[in-house]
Each structure stands twice: as structure tokens, then as C-alpha cells.
């Protein structure tokens, strides 16, 4: 159990998955809390490894444990998987159930970006604008992309004067120069 957790923290997801798999096979007289936690980490490892059954494992974990202390993290993983499959409305259902202040900084930035993009894809530009405004002010790997999507949201809302300064800050970026 402890080895599985340690491997998860070290981002060795395949080894962690196997450790928890072995633990659950032999966990007869183990505390229920450890079984619960091991089941979460199994699903979390499946998510990180993008196993074909990751979505089903997370949904099953959630169904069996609706009051789990891993509620926000499970919703985040489910939302990201739906987002990656371009099921933006489904992703937003999961994202809207998250208290993102309980997430780590990296999880929070991934959450904000994925939710913001899902809002743009579903034409919820006001919500997307607010999310990308927050994200572009954070020091993250999404700064330039968040600036673009913030400006795009303002543009889509007809706020051209608000969109222009942000478009101009990224007009020389090779990724966005043709679009801007």
C-alpha cells in the first residue's frame, strides 16, 4: 500500500498501479479506509496512464464512493477524460462540481484551461472569458494560450476594444501570428 502511494507521488504510475493491484488482491483484514484509498489510486493510475478503462474505473469508484475525500480530484480526472474525447458538455458537468481551491497548483491550472476551452467549444464565452482572465494572470505554462483565448472570448462577445490589446501582445508569437 505504502509502496503504491510512494510510486504514485514519484509519477511511476504503471508500477504504482501494479502495487495497488497486488495490495487489493491480498487485502482481507485491512482497514476499509486503505481499501478505499487503494481503489482511488488504482483509478488515478489508470487515468494517468490513459488506460482504455480509466473512465469506467473512475465512474465506478465515484458510484461506489459518492462522499469520497477524493471527490474533487475524481471529478477533475473524469472532466479531463471527457474533455480529451471532445465531450465538452459532459466535461463541464464534472468541472462544475469541483471546488478548485482544493486542487494542487498544477491540477488547478489544468482544470482552468480545460474548463475554459470547454466553455469556448460550447459557446459559453462569458464564462470562458472569466476563466481565461484568471488563468492568464497566473504564472503557468498556459500564459500565452490563456491570453489568446481570453482575447478570443472578448472578441466573440463583441468586446473588440477589450480584445485588441491582448491580441496585440501575442501577434508575434508563431503559434498565433496568422490567427491574430
Q: What are the pLDDT digits (tens) for 15-55?
A: 999 888 888 887 666 666 788 899 999 999 999 999 999 99
**87 vs 11: CA distance, rounded Å:** 27
Distances (CA, A) of 86 to 15, 92, 178: 29, 11, 25
pTM reported for the whole predicted model: 0.87
Q: Give the Cα separation of 12 and 49 in Å (integer).
A: 10
The span from the CA of 75 to the CA of 160, in Å, is 35
pLDDT exceeds cutoff 80 at 10: yes
> Which tens digit of pLDDT belongs to each residue from 79-132?
999 999 999 999 999 999 999 999 999 999 999 999 999 999 999 999 999 999
The pLDDT of residue 22 is 85
Dihedral of the CA atoms 95, 100, 103, 104 (nearest 10)?
A: 110
* pLDDT for the residue numbered 28: 66
pLDDT in tens, 134-173: 999 999 999 999 999 999 999 999 999 999 999 999 999 9
The owner of cell 466573440 is 156
Residue 58 CA to residue 170 CA, distance in Å, equals 38
Whether residue 167 contacts residue 136, with contact meaning beta carbons closer than 8 Å, is answered with no
Amino acid at each position: 500500500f505504502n509502496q503504491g502511494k510512494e510510486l504514485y507521488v514519484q509519477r511511476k504510475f504503471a508500477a504504482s498501479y501494479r502495487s495497488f493491484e497486488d495490495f487489493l488482491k491480498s487485502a482481507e483484514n485491512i482497514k476499509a479506509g486503505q481499501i478505499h484509498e487503494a481503489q482511488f489510486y488504482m483509478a488515478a493510475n489508470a487515468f494517468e496512464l490513459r488506460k482504455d478503462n480509466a473512465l469506467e474505473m473512475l465512474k465506478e469508484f465515484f458510484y461506489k464512493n459518492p462522499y469520497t475525500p477524493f471527490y474533487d480530484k475524481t471529478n477533475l480526472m473524469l472532466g479531463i477524460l471527457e474533455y480529451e474525447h471532445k465531450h465538452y458538455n459532459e466535461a463541464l458537468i464534472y468541472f462544475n462540481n469541483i471546488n478548485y481551491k482544493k486542487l494542487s497548483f498544477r491540477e488547478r491550472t489544468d482544470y482552468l484551461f480545460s474548463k475554459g476551452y470547454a466553455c469556448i467549444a460550447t459557446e459559453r464565452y462569458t464564462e470562458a472569458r472569466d476563466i481565461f482572465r484568471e488563468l492568464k494572470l497566473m504564472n503557468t505554462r498556459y500564459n500565452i494560450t490563456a491570453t489568446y483565448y481570453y482575447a478570443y472570448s472578448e472578441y466573440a462577445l463583441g468586446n473588440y476594444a477589450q480584445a485588441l490589446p491582448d491580441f496585440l501582445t501575442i501577434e508575434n508569437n508563431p503559434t498565433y501570428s496568422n490567427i491574430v
